[in-house]
């Protein structure tokens, strides 16, 4: 007869049970790190904890939110002074109706650690980063009065090359947290050239007519999700397609915004 010994954590006080489990995870993480060493992808410090995200806890702290002193009240484009804004706080593009979306909300500046985290998520396929990025995005969303969360669509060729649609991962997390239905109501009907290096007018021309929305958007308040807002050309083209199909409103929510006041080529390469 084989005797089996079972040790139950029920014998321990609740506080000690938690400590025992946490201590076990910590020690196990260090043991795995000793056998299979890995470093934080941002700061290169050794990782000692179990995680699906190869980034240390310090580098995963929320960056500073993007809070420029002067910005458009509609598209939230930052400016160095109030001079480009009218009495209603609108920039020239919004006054001329080029942006097409009704509001834009973004968490941080597309720079530093946030930029590197987005690249890790988007280009290196670290999909679990959708959770912290999505939580940061929700922290700057002023309300929840939307009928559908819609990811920025990706052309099938680019999705096949990359393996996943990063905007869809972010949208799934946002929808799960808010309880707003996740719906794929717009598609990218043609591929476009990379936006990097193009002027604002060139970006708008590049994506003009690239999207087609479903008739199911009629009367809906749409929350459009993407990772980075640069000039707003892509978001504007997608919002235009949604509006043509009958959407009542389109607001965009992103993790980061390129701060073109810095005049840095790296800041506008996405």
Domains for the chain: give ranges and CATH numbers. Answer: 13-61 (no CATH), 70-268 (3.40.50)
- Least Cα distance to 90 among 108, 65, 71 occurs for 71
Q: Write down the number of H helices and E strands in the chain.
A: 8, 8
Task: Count CB atoms within 10 A of the CB of residue 182.
Answer: 18
How far from 170 is each of 66, 89, 92, 133, 174, CA to CA, in Å? 19, 30, 30, 7, 6
pTM for the predicted model, two decimal places: 0.79
The rounded mean pLDDT for the chain is 81
CA–CA distance, 110 with 228 (Å, rounded to integer)? 7
Tens digits of residue pLDDT in 23-81: 555 455 444 444 444 789 999 898 877 778 999 999 999 988 888 888 887 888 888 88
């Amino acid at each position: 007869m084989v005797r089996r010994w079972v040790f139950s954590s029920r014998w321990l006080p609740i506080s000690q049970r938690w400590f025992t489990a946490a201590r076990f995870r910590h020690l196990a993480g260090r043991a795995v790190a000793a056998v299979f060493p890995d470093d934080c992808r941002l700061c290169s410090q050794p990782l000692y904890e179990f995680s699906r995200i190869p980034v240390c806890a310090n580098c995963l702290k929320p960056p500073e939110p993007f809070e420029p002193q002067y910005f458009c009240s509609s598209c939230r484009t930052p400016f160095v002074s109030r001079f480009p804004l009218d009495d209603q706080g609108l920039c020239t593009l919004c006054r001329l109706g080029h942006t097409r979306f009704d509001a834009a909300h973004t968490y941080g500046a597309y720079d530093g650690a946030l930029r590197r985290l987005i690249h890790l998520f988007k280009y290196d396929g670290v999909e679990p980063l959708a959770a912290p990025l999505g939580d940061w995005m929700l922290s700057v969303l002023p309300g929840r009065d939307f009928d559908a969360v819609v990811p920025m669509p990706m052309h099938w060729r680019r999705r096949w090359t990359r393996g996943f649609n990063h905007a869809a991962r972010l949208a799934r997390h946002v929808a799960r947290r808010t309880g707003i239905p996740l719906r794929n109501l717009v598609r990218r009907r043609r591929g476009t050239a990379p936006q990097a290096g193009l002027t604002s007018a060139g970006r708008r021309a590049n994506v003009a007519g690239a999207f087609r929305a479903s008739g199911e958007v009629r009367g809906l308040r749409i929350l459009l999700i993407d990772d980075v807002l640069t000039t707003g050309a892509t978001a504007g083209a997608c919002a235009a397609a949604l509006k043509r199909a009958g959407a009542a409103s389109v607001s965009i929510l992103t993790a980061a915004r390129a701060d073109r006041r810095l005049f840095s080529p790296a800041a506008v390469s996405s």
